[in-house]
Amino acid sequence: MIISVASGKGGTGKTLVATSLALSIKDRDKVQLLDCDVEEPNDHVFLKPTITRSEAVYIPVPKVDEDKCTYCGKCAEVCAYNAIAVSPKHVLIFPELCHGCGACSYLCPEKVISEVGREIGVVESGNSDGVEFVHGRLAIGEAMAPPIIRKVKEQANGEGTVIIDVSPGTSCPVVEAVKDSDFCLLVTEPTPFGLNDLVLAVETVRELNIPCGVILNRTGVGDRKVEEYCSKENIPILLTIPLDTEIARLYSKGITLVEGMPQWKESFLRLFAKIREIVNERGSGTKR
Ligand code: SF4
Ligand code: SF4
């Protein structure tokens, strides 16, 4: 089962949920935590894994043999990302804009474009007290998160439970990380900003046809609009976590919730059981 942990808004407690869920179920199920928030991975701060493997991630960018180029402009025309410009006597390539799609080399009429690998980040994996751990890191100044997310997801071993920590928002990196999940947990807070971004996140996961449930973090502040929205949209609120200075204190020290307050482990196990029930029900519904 693949469970992604996402949130429309940053800072709602995604990391807290992903790490505590992984640690809660590790004694009952094989569990792998994939931190796909590659622009700012921080699950390692809490799980402190021993990293045993590191692999650079490259994307193919074009290299033009200008001795044979006719400067026809076809490559610039087909590049959807404006990563190539052709002047009467020169071809300019902007590697930072290139998505490595290969269209220019495929469509160059003279076949004078080859591809060279450009390093954009790294994928590291290891283990943390029984949790298999993988995360990706996008190199500073790079903008192409999806290729690194794909590499992180390739490490999913297909055994037990895979938990994917997704970057905040609803853009391409989120879609890349969430797609193929069996369930998506949406972590939010009971504020107008939390609700606004939750609505966008729900639209995204529904578009991907992935069932979702909400975790309401920092309850006790804000209003009841998130609850009203979830009730109207028939989205289950699977766990509530109160605004609590002790939880904030643990988080600021890099201690997971279930390690600092072990009484929370039962709540995360119940959360896991509810997710499994929803996924199984949906699976049997699909088969019928
Ligand atoms: S499409 Fe090929 S031949 Fe035409 S300008 Fe680009 S590299 Fe040169
Ligand atoms: S590989 Fe794709 S994105 Fe990169 S320059 Fe060629 S057409 Fe543009």
131: CATH: 3.40.50.300
Q: Is 9 in the pocket of ligand 2 (CB under 6 A)?
A: no
Q: Which ligand is nearest to the CA of 109?
A: 1
Instruction: Give 78 Cα–ligand 2 centroid separation in angstroms.
Output: 8
Order of strands, sheet of 212-219, starting from the edge strand that comes earlier in the sequence = 50-64, 113-128, 131-138, 31-35, 161-165, 2-6, 183-188, 212-219, 237-242
pTM (two decimals): 0.90
Question: Parallel, antiparallel, or unpaired for β 2-6 and 131-138?
Answer: unpaired
107: CATH: 3.30.70.20
Question: Parallel, antiparallel, or unpaired for β 90-93 and 84-87?
Answer: antiparallel
Number of domains the chain contains: 2
Ligand 1: residue whose CA is nearest its atom 8 = 69
Nearest Cα neighbor of 133 from 159, 158, 177, 164 is 164
Same-domain status, 52 and 72? no
Same-domain status, 70 and 98? yes
Q: Which residue has the tokens 């529904």?
A: 206
Same-domain status, 25 and 99? no
* CA 261 and chain centroid, separation: 26
Ligand 2: residue whose CA is nearest its atom 7 = 79
Same-domain status, 51 and 185? yes
The domain in which residue 107 lies consists of: 66-111
Instruction: Give 102 Cα–ligand 1 centroid separation in angstroms.
Output: 13
Query: What are the mean pLDDT values of the chain's consecutive 10-residue runs (288 residues total)?
Result: 89 92 94 96 96 96 96 97 95 94 96 96 96 96 91 92 92 92 96 93 95 95 93 97 95 95 97 96 68
**Using alpha carbons only, what angle is made at residue 197 by residues 195 and 201, rounded to the nearest 5 degrees?**
115
What is the rounded CA–CA span in Å between residue 274 and residue 276? 5
